[in-house]
C-alpha cells in the first residue's frame, strides 16, 4: 500500500483516486473548488441541475462505459439521434451526412465531393501519423480545397484559436472528425449519448465509491506545494496543513505544475510552461423556445462572433430549451474582461441572428462559467513536446487534458488517463 495524494477532483482526478483506492492504496484527493467534478460538475440553474460545461458521449467512449459498468450505473446511459447544422450565408443548413453535404449551397459540386471524401477517409483512418507534420489548415486545404476551407473552417478556427488558428495540428482536427463520424446509430445517422441525470451522476457515483473504499476527499483545499526530499515526494502543502505522501498524481493544468513543484529540473519546468492554452467563457442560456432543431450548429458568418452553439436540450430532455454558447479566447483578449451580463447579451443576440423569430423576452436566464486553461494549442508534433507523465521527481506524476493529444478533451480520455496513472503508482 502506498500513501497517495491526487491533485484535482475533476473527472481525471476522480478516476485516478478511485482506481488507486481499488488497488488498495491509501488515498487523499485534494480539490481547490467547493465541489468535485471540475468541468463535469453541475450547478443549480433556477431549479435545474445542469453541467457548467456541456458533455456528451460518443460510441467510441469505452473507458467511460467500462467505468460506469464497474460503478453499477451503466443503465443510466441513453442514446439519441443528434443532428447538426451549419449557419452561413444568412441561412441555417442541415449538416453531417452525404445528403446534407450535397444539398449545401455554399460549395461547388467538386468541393462537396472532395470534402465528403476527406471526411470519409478521416473517419476510417486507423492512425493520423502520416499527417502529423501538417497543420489543420494545410490538411483541409489539400483534401477539401481552399474554397471549402474558407467557407467551412476559416471563421470557426479564427473564433476558437484566434492568433493560433493556423498553428493547430492536422492530427488533432482529424481525430475530432473521426470521433464524431464513428458515432453512428443503427440507421446510419449520428447518434450521441448522455447520462441520465447528467455528468453529475457519474461524479457522485465516483465520489461515493471512492469514499466507501476509505478515500478522503478534501474540498476547498487548494494545493500550495508538493514537498520533495532527496529527490522524492514526501507530501503536499495545503492551506489546511500538510498531507503526507509517497506518491502524488497531479491532474491540474500543466502550466501550473512548475509552480507546485519547484524542485522539478529546469528543463521539465520549461516544457510545462511552454504549453499554451485558450480560455473559455461558456454561456448557458435557458429559453422559452428552441433556437433550432439541431444539437450542434456551427456558425461561420461575418459579424457573428461565436463559432457555434450546442442546443443541449435537443439531445438530453431538459423540460425547457437549454443552449450552450462557448466563447474561446486567450485570457489577454478584451472580451475576457467583459462582465458576464455582456457576454450573455451578445450570445443571445447571436442566436437571434440565427433565428430571427426569437424575441428578447424568450430569454429566461443566462449563466457564464469561465476556465483559464480550457483548450491547449496543439501544434504539429505536439506529443513530442510534452513532458513525460512520470517525472524525474520520485513518486510524482502529472497529466492534464493536453496529454490526450491527438484526442480532444472528454470524460472518456480523462477516465483512461486517470486510471492509467493510478496503475503506475509504485511501479
Domain count, the chain: 2
Domain closes at, from 376, 394, 414: 376
The verdict on 167 and 307 lying in the same domain is yes
CATH of the domain at 217: 3.50.50.60
pLDDT at 182 over 90: no
User: From CA 228, how far away is CA 380, in angstroms rounded?
Assistant: 34
The verdict on 290 and 332 lying in the same domain is yes
* Mean predicted lDDT score pLDDT of the chain: 95
Domain that holds residue 244: 3-55+199-275+385-424
Q: Work out the pLDDT band at 223, boundaries 50, 70, 90.
A: very high
End-to-end CA gap in the chain = 12
Q: Cβ distance 168 to 132 under 8 Å? A: no
User: From CA 177, how far away is CA 128, in angstroms rounded?
Assistant: 12
Report pLDDT for 367.
97
The verdict on 356 and 228 lying in the same domain is no
Phi/psi at 310 (5° precision): -120, 110
For residue 374, give Cα distances in angstroms to 276, 277, 344, 353: 10, 7, 19, 27
Residue 174: alpha-carbon gap to chain centroid: 16
* Surface-to-core class of residue 359, CB atoms within 10 Å of its CB (0-12 exposed, 13-18 middle, 19+ buried): exposed
* pLDDT tens string 224-277: 999 999 999 999 999 899 999 999 999 999 999 999 999 999 999 999 999 999
The verdict on 207 and 320 lying in the same domain is no
The verdict on 152 and 24 lying in the same domain is no
Could you tell me what percent of the chain has a pLDDT over 90?
Answer: 94
Report pLDDT for 17.
98
The verdict on 86 and 180 lying in the same domain is yes
Report pLDDT for 277.
94
Element (H, E) at 247: strand 247-250
The verdict on 288 and 367 lying in the same domain is yes
Beta-carbon contacts of residue 120 (< 8 Å; ≥ 6 apart): 181
User: From CA 228, how far away is CA 206, in angstroms rounded?
Assistant: 29
The verdict on 392 and 331 lying in the same domain is no
* pLDDT tens string 90-144: 999 999 889 999 999 999 999 999 999 999 999 999 999 999 999 999 999 999 9
The verdict on 122 and 173 lying in the same domain is yes
Please give the average per-residue pLDDT across 391-407, as a whole number.
Answer: 95
pLDDT at 413 over 80: yes
Report long-range pairs for 165-168 (Cβ below 8 Å, ≥24 apart): 165/137, 166/135, 166/137, 167/135, 167/377, 167/379, 168/135, 168/136, 168/137, 168/377, 168/378, 168/379
The verdict on 227 and 163 lying in the same domain is no
The verdict on 84 and 188 lying in the same domain is yes
Q: Are strands 91-95 and 84-88 parallel, antiparallel or unpaired?
A: antiparallel
Largest CA distance in the chain: 67
* Surface-to-core class of residue 100, CB atoms within 10 Å of its CB (0-12 exposed, 13-18 middle, 19+ buried): middle
Please give the average per-residue pLDDT across 76-80, as a whole number.
Answer: 96
Residue given cell 443548413 in the structure block:
93
pLDDT at 188 over 90: no
CATH of the domain at 289: 3.90.660.20
Domain closes at, from 376, 396, 413: 376
pTM: 0.94
Report pLDDT for 28.
98
Please give the average per-residue pLDDT across 216-225, as a whole number.
Answer: 96
Residue 65: alpha-carbon gap to chain centroid: 17
* pLDDT tens string 192-218: 999 999 999 999 999 999 999 999 999
Q: Cβ distance 175 to 136 under 8 Å? A: no
The verdict on 125 and 216 lying in the same domain is no
User: From CA 392, how far away is CA 404, in angstroms rounded?
Assistant: 21
* Surface-to-core class of residue 71, CB atoms within 10 Å of its CB (0-12 exposed, 13-18 middle, 19+ buried): middle
pLDDT at 79 over 90: yes
* pLDDT tens string 23-53: 999 999 999 999 999 999 999 999 999 999 9
Let me know the angle formed at the C-alpha of 152 by 147 and 155, rounded to the nearest 5 degrees: 105
Amino acid at each position: 500500500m502506498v500513501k497517495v495524494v491526487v491533485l484535482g477532483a475533476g473527472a481525471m482526478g476522480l478516476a485516478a483516486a478511485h482506481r488507486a483506492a481499488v488497488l488498495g492504496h491509501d488515498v487523499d484527493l485534494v480539490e481547490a473548488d467547493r465541489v468535485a467534478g471540475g468541468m463535469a460538475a453541475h450547478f443549480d440553474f433556477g431549479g435545474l441541475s445542469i453541467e457548467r460545461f456541456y458533455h456528451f458521449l460518443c460510441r467510441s467512449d469505452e473507458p467511460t462505459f467500462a467505468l460506469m459498468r464497474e460503478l453499477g450505473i451503466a443503465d443510466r446511459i441513453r442514446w439519441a439521434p443528434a443532428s447538426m447544422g451549419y449557419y452561413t450565408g444568412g441561412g441555417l443548413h442541415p449538416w453531417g451526412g452525404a445528403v446534407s453535404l450535397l444539398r449545401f449551397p455554399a460549395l461547388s459540386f467538386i468541393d462537396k465531393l472532395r470534402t465528403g471524401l476527406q471526411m470519409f477517409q478521416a473517419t476510417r483512418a486507423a492512425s493520423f501519423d502520416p499527417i502529423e507534420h501538417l497543420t489543420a489548415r494545410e490538411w483541409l486545404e489539400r483534401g477539401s480545397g481552399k474554397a471549402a476551407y474558407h467557407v467551412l473552417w476559416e471563421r470557426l478556427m479564427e473564433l476558437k484559436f484566434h492568433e493560433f488558428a493556423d498553428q493547430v495540428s492536422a492530427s488533432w482536427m482529424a481525430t475530432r472528425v473521426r470521433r464524431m463520424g464513428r458515432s453512428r446509430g443503427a440507421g446510419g445517422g449520428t447518434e450521441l449519448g448522455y447520462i441520465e441525470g447528467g455528468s453529475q451522476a457519474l461524479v457522485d457515483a465516483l465520489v461515493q465509491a471512492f469514499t466507501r473504499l476509505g478515500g478522503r476527499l478534501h474540498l476547498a483545499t487548494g494545493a500550495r506545494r508538493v514537498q520533495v526530499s532527496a529527490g522524492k515526494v514526501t507530501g503536499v502543502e495545503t492551506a489546511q496543513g500538510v498531507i503526507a505522501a509517497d506518491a502524488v498524481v497531479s491532474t491540474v493544468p500543466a502550466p501550473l505544475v512548475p509552480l507546485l513543484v519547484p524542485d522539478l529540473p529546469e528543463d521539465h519546468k520549461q516544457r510545462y510552461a511552454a504549453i499554451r492554452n485558450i480560455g473559455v467563457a461558456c454561456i448557458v442560456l435557458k429559453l422559452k423556445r428552441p433556437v433550432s432543431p439541431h444539437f450542434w450548429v456551427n456558425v461561420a458568418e461575418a459579424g457573428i462572433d461565436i463559432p457555434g452553439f450546442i442546443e443541449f436540450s435537443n439531445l438530453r430532455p431538459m423540460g425547457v430549451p437549454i443552449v450552450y454558447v462557448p466563447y474561446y479566447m486567450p485570457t489577454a483578449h478584451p472580451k475576457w474582461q467583459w462582465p458576464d451580463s455582456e457576454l450573455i447579451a451578445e450570445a443571445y443576440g447571436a442566436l437571434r441572428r440565427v433565428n430571427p423569430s426569437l424575441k428578447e423576452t424568450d430569454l429566461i436566464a443566462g449563466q457564464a462559467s469561465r476556465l483559464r486553461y480550457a483548450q491547449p494549442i496543439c501544434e504539429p508534433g505536439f506529443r513530442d513536446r510534452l513532458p513525460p507523465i512520470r517525472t524525474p521527481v520520485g513518486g510524482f506524476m502529472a497529466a492534464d487534458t493536453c496529454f490526450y493529444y491527438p484526442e480532444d478533451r472528454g470524460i472518456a480520455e480523462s477516465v483512461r488517463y486517470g486510471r492509467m496513472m493510478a496503475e503506475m503508482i509504485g511501479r
